[in-house]
């Protein structure tokens, strides 16, 4: 296995957890070397007013105190991170832990505290009876102040990072941005009809989630072989070994098939960076957890629903065509199945409808969300929305609610006007 492949096999969260704090800590730990040179040549001159006037014994005591405080604060930092992980997994959702492990504030805090500890140790080793690096020791005092300020900021940050409304808003912003990017890509690409007959299939050799495909390389290879290539499953689909991964309009030899297969990434875990449905499912998971009898937090579920409705408003207006790419001569070479509006509506509203079966307040919110999408959407969107409206009313009627409650829900449904 090459180094590049090895790095790809390391989860992004673990990779960042190991590299970012380590680079910061090692960078700070290396500072005493150039500072020692400054001490040796300039500290006794014009920089003298800016350095500590201290004896060797006091310098040892100061640096030992800074090192002890830094490593204690570092242990506190990771303890707080573990508490945040526990709260996030229990109250919000375990799939959000990936985001917490890659949080820049956590990484920087650990790096500064670890670097301050190492800086103090290295500086202690530079102290001699005949020479005291006072400027280097002064910087240790500055790092101690910086560590305290960073720790204060870190505590404030982690106290707000598990606020559920902020998490819902963050997921919603990311999903809306991904949808806008997807719609812009669709608008910029091939818009003609796909008239190819994809009768030859290349099957997956591994099991996992469909990731991204190297589009430029795929188009180049397809042009060279005069092929039309279609990704059989959308990004995020869980594929078993032996299932169809690529569809071609004509048969190719094993070497070409292997090259095409190598252009598609198969991931061991679903990536939230390329899968809009993953973000929808995160919001649904939070909403269903909030609607569970043990929590019974309808307003959190309604906040999730509002975020989903906002993100789906643009696709409701414009639709989501299939993503297609052509070569320089305008011939269709690559087709990547995109998300359809129907699949997004089904992913969002089927579980919410079932969860609101015995919760009229939530059912009214679901009806209002469907009403908003119907009002801003096209005729095709309204037809899709009306299917969910009828399913919602049937679910509530089967639950045996009073007619007055049913009338409140029905008042927001265009299918019953």
Phi/psi at 200 (5° precision) = -115, 130
> What kind and span of H or E run contains 36?
helix 32-41
**290 and 352 in contact (C-beta within 8 Å)?**
no
Mean predicted confidence (pLDDT) in 352-372: 92
Rounded to the nearest integer, the mean pLDDT of the chain is: 82
Which is more confidently placed, 84 or 211? 211
Beta strands in 214-331 (DSSP E): 229-231, 238-239, 244-248, 264-267, 323-326
Would you state the pLDDT for residue 215? 83
All structural domains of the chain = 3-162 (no CATH), 169-177+274-318+339-416 (1.25.40)
**13 and 101 in contact (C-beta within 8 Å)?**
yes
Q: Is the dihedral of CA 7, 12, 18, 19 positive or negative?
A: positive
Q: Is residue 2 predicted with pLDDT exceeding 50?
A: no
Distance CA 30, CA 28 (A): 5
Residue 226, sorted as left (phi over 0), alpha (psi -120 to 50) or beta, turns out to be left
Would you state the pLDDT for residue 3? 41
Would you state the pLDDT for residue 332? 84
The contacts of residue 106 (CB under 8 Å, 6+ apart) are 77, 81, 100, 154, 158
pLDDT tens digits, residue range 294-304? 778 888 899 99
For residue 122, name the pLDDT band (cuts at 50, 70, 90): very high
pLDDT tens digits, residue range 160-218? 766 777 778 888 888 888 888 777 765 445 555 667 788 889 999 899 988 888 888 98
pLDDT tens digits, residue range 228-242? 898 888 777 888 999
Which is more confidently placed, 323 or 139? 139
Quick one: what percent of the chain has pLDDT higher than 70? 83
Q: Is the dihedral of CA 342, 343, 344, 349 positive or negative?
A: positive
User: Terminus-to-terminus CA distance in the chain, angstroms?
Assistant: 63
Q: Is residue 10 predicted with pLDDT exceeding 50?
A: no
Q: Other C-beta atoms within 10 Å of 106: how many?
A: 24
Would you state the pLDDT for residue 273? 47
Would you state the pLDDT for residue 271? 61
DSSP string, 318-362: H--PPEEEE-TTS-EEEEE----HHHHHHHHHHHHHHHTTT-HHH
Which is more confidently placed, 103 or 140? 140
Distance CA 379, CA 345 (A): 15
The burial class, CB within 10 Å (0-12 / 13-18 / 19+), for 120 is buried
Would you state the pLDDT for residue 101? 62
Distance CA 50, CA 42 (A): 11
Mean predicted confidence (pLDDT) in 316-336: 79
Residue with tokens 């005291």: 132
Would you state the pLDDT for residue 149? 94
Strands 244-248 and 238-239: unpaired
pLDDT tens digits, residue range 364-408? 999 999 999 999 988 888 999 999 999 999 999 999 889 998 999
pLDDT tens digits, residue range 85-118? 776 666 666 556 566 666 788 889 989 999 999 9
Q: Is residue 12 predicted with pLDDT exceeding 60?
A: no
For residue 246, name the pLDDT band (cuts at 50, 70, 90): very high
């Amino acid at each position: 296995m090459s180094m590049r492949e090895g790095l790809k096999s390391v989860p992004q969260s673990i990779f960042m957890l190991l590299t970012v704090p380590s680079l910061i800590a090692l960078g700070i730990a290396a500072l005493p070397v150039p500072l020692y040179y400054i001490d040796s040549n300039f500290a006794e001159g014009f920089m003298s007013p800016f350095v500590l006037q201290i004896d060797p014994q006091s310098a040892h005591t100061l640096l030992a105190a800074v090192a002890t405080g830094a490593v204690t604060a570092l242990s506190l930092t990771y303890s707080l991170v573990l508490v945040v992980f526990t709260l996030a997994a229990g109250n919000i959702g375990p799939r959000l832990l990936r985001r917490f492990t890659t949080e820049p504030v956590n990484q920087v805090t650990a790096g500064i505290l670890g670097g301050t500890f190492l800086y103090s140790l290295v500086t202690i080793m530079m102290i001699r009876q005949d020479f005291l690096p006072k400027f280097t020791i002064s910087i240790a005092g500055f790092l101690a102040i910086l560590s305290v300020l960073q720790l204060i900021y870190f505590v404030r940050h982690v106290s707000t990072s598990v606020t559920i409304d902020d998490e819902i808003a963050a997921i919603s912003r990311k999903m809306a941005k991904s949808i806008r990017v997807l719609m812009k890509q669709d608008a910029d690409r091939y818009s003609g009809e796909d008239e190819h007959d994809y009768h030859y299939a290349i099957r997956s050799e591994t099991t996992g989630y469909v990731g991204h495909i190297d589009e430029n390389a795929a188009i180049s290879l397809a042009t060279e072989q005069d092929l039309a290539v279609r990704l059989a499953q959308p990004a995020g689909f869980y594929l078993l070994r032996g299932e169809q991964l690529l569809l071609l309009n004509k048969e190719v030899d094993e070497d070409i098939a292997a090259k095409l297969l190598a252009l598609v990434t198969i991931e061991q875990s679903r990536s939230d960076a390329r899968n809009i449905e993953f973000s929808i499912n995160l919001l649904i998971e939070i909403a269903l957890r909030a609607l569970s009898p043990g929590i019974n937090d309808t307003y959190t579920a309604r906040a999730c629903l509002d975020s989903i409705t906002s993100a789906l408003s643009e696709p409701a207006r414009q639709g989501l065509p299939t993503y297609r790419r052509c070569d320089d001569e305008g011939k269709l070479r690559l087709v990547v199945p995109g998300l359809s509006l129907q699949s997004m509506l089904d992913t969002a509203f089927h579980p919410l409808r079932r969860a609101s079966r015995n919760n009229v307040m939530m059912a009214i919110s679901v009806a209002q969300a469907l009403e908003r999408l119907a009002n801003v959407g096209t005729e095709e969107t309204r037809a899709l929305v009306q299917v969910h409206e009828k399913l919602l009313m049937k679910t509530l009627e089967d639950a045996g609610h009073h007619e007055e409650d049913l009338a409140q829900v029905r008042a927001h449904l265009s299918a019953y006007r």
